[in-house]
Structure 1
Amino acid sequence: MSVFQVPDDANVAKGISLTLIAILVFGVQDVAVKFLVTDYPFTQVVMIRFWGVGLFILAWLWREGTLRTALKSKAPYLQLTRATLLVVDIWCFSAALSLMPLADLQAIFMLFPIVTTLLAIPMLGEQVGLVRWMAIIVGFIGTMIVIRPGFQDLNLGVFFQLGAVFSFAGYTILTRMVSSKDRTSTSLAYMALVGIVLSTAVGFRSFEIMTPQALMLMGLIIITANIAHTLFTMALREAPASILQPFNFLMLPVAIVFSFIAFGDLIDSISLIGASITVGAGLTVWWRERQKKIRTGEDIRGEIR
């Protein structure tokens, strides 16, 4: 039986600081991606991103001397499915970025923890009480307020972003499932290899020569992706994910500010109200899950987006 331990306050503060910096870095990455996908196929942008991030991961594992053992999985089919869902998530998010303002996308993505809880019922056999069921329903209502079907023309990007939400939720569930079977290095290796292969198979067909300015943006995307993921990993070493996870909702205000600065886009008041409702529902789900883990004495370290 694992024992719940209260983390050191200094470590928690450091973990929170690293998480906040990572969120800002991810915001910069999203802006750079949006600039690129307006002029180049999103599949090409995703392909080059996976080349940069995937090769960095594989090189790091090789340098640590763990690459060969990392490729040996006790659940290879789960790992392949998990990595494929991540590629689909990034494809969908990048496609949506080419069609919609960044802030609107993040408003819809706030539905992610709600969908994750919903998928955990059949996939992990989790029991969901009345409060979390109510939060799930309220979260979907908030997202419907953002999308407003029937009251405005639905942008195709909405469907891509919903695809990103569901695929990332599935990826997160499978991450929990493989974490009890394989090392973290194995999950990273599969993510890198599958990402490189799948993104190249699709992206190379629509490849276009990029300008020097576009290549600089592409380099920025690769650098920020590696930095942000490294910061999140460092943050999880300092504090439990259950403490850090609520700060992920700050991706929405960051997206609103960056979207206005870079593109002059402003999220409308109705969408902001809907997003706030979804965020509130997501925080309710997080709080109930955290209380459950504390009562059972379960170690609440885990993965953060």
Structure 2
Amino acid sequence: MSISAIDNRTDNVGRAIALTLFTIAVFGVQDAISKHLVQSYSPFQVTMMRYWGFALFALILVMRQGGWRQALASKVPGWQMLRGALLIIEIWFFAMALQSVPLGELQSISMVYPLLVTLFSIPLLGEKVGVFRFVAVGVGFAGALIIVRPGGLPLDWGVGFAVISATLYSLYIVLTRKVSQFDRAATSLAYTGIIGLVLSSGVGVFFWQPMAWVDVALVVTMMVTTCLGHGLMIYALSMAPASTVQPFNYFALPWAIVLSMVVFGHFIDPISLLGAAIVVAAGLVVMARERIKRVAIVDGPILPGRE
């Protein structure tokens, strides 16, 4: 399925939603594997190896769209390179947060990104945000504060890394919207793959540690499922608008809570769960309001297993 097929889709909303939910489940399993690995290996090494899978996927997809030379012909190469750098730095911070923050709570904090996108869209895209959405953003941030309240999550570096990760991810999405006004989705995907591959490998190689065979198998599993997950997400977007399937990305939160309980034996406390529910509700309100106002939700490029 090519990127261009998204522009010529025949809507099949039910199948698109099912594929989106399955893809989110796959990415959640990848996060659980990453959390297991970063307990023994550097987050930079794990990120590098995980990104290899995405780079392979990007290479195959871009070649099908006419080759790298055509894909790299950007009208805004500076913005594209900044996007690529932001994404890989964001993944580094997410991986470092995985070392100490439970999956459920980490995913809850990450869910503030649609709210941050709303705020960053004002100066970077010139969008107008009314009082209604500002109130929703404020409520969402209140929910995040409930999660990290005194007596909630330990206020260590992991929580800070999670907040920085969500902030960088929202900036990446806003810049993706910005460059979509000038470049094709294949161009954005190419820059994301190349910049991320260069930076992740250039840093990760200095943190290399020999891996046990079982951990190598887990890394290979992540690489294979990365290609599978992104391919399925593109297929889902070929059957329904991104604004239709985007709200179902919040399935990542309950799935992360389940994985955290089953795999790591961690149970999210009721007050943190309340805070997570407030964050999700605020995000859904913002999305609904944006849809009413006909503000585009990002269609591409597909992201490397962090959603």
> Does TM, scored on the shorter chain, surpass 0.5?
yes
2-structure distance, mates of 1:61, 1:292: 33
Kindly provide the CA deviation profile for residues 172-209 of structure 1, in whole angstroms up to 9, marking residues without a partner as x.
00110111211111111111111111111211111101
Contact kept, 8 Å, 1:28 with 1:224, in 2: the verdict is: no
Contact kept, 8 Å, 2:97 with 2:158, in 1: the verdict is: yes
Q: How does 1:293-304 map to 2 (within 5 A)?
A: 293=294, 302-303=299-300
Q: Which residue identity lines up with residue 227 of structure 2 in the other structure?
A: N
- Which secondary structure does the structure 2 equivalent of 1:201 belong to? helix
Match of 1:266 in 2: 267
Match of 2:54 in 1: 53
2-structure distance, mates of 1:217, 1:135: 40
2-structure distance, mates of 1:52, 1:249: 24
Give how far 1:292 is off.
Answer: 1.0
Give how far 1:89 is off.
Answer: 1.3
Q: How does 1:84-99 map to 2 (within 5 A)?
A: 84-99=85-100
Match of 1:244 in 2: 245
- Which secondary structure does the structure 1 equivalent of 2:237 belong to? helix
2-structure distance, mates of 1:242, 1:97: 29
Give how far 1:63 is off.
Answer: 4.9
Contact kept, 8 Å, 1:89 with 1:163, in 2: the verdict is: yes
- Which secondary structure does the structure 2 equivalent of 1:238 belong to? coil
Match of 1:3 in 2: none
Dislocated runs of 4+, deviation >4 Å: 149-152, 298-301
- Which secondary structure does the structure 1 equivalent of 2:12 belong to? helix
Match of 1:141 in 2: 142
Match of 1:110 in 2: 111
Q: Which residue identity lines up with residue 108 of structure 1 in the other structure?
A: I
Match of 1:73 in 2: 74
Give how far 1:299 is off.
Answer: 7.3
**Cα separation, partners in 2 of 1:60 and 1:287, compared to 1, 3 Å:** closer
Cα RMSD after superposing both structures: 1.8
**Cα separation, partners in 2 of 1:152 and 1:56, compared to 1, 3 Å:** closer
Give how far 1:150 is off.
Answer: 7.7
Match of 2:162 in 1: 161
Q: How does 1:145-224 map to 2 (within 5 A)?
A: 145-149=146-150, 153-224=154-225
Contact kept, 8 Å, 2:23 with 2:233, in 1: the verdict is: yes
* TM-score after normalising by structure 2: 0.91
Q: Which residue identity lines up with residue 266 of structure 1 in the other structure?
A: F
Give how far 1:279 is off.
Answer: 0.7
**Cα separation, partners in 2 of 1:102 and 1:134, compared to 1, 3 Å:** same
Contact kept, 8 Å, 2:107 with 2:256, in 1: the verdict is: yes
- Which secondary structure does the structure 1 equivalent of 2:155 belong to? coil
Identity among equivalent pairs (%): 46
Contact kept, 8 Å, 2:152 with 2:272, in 1: the verdict is: no
Q: Specify every segment of 5 or more residues in structure 2 that has no aligned partner in the other structure, as ranges.
A: 1-8
Match of 2:3 in 1: none
Give how far 1:56 is off.
Answer: 3.1
**Cα separation, partners in 2 of 1:138 and 1:55, compared to 1, 3 Å:** same
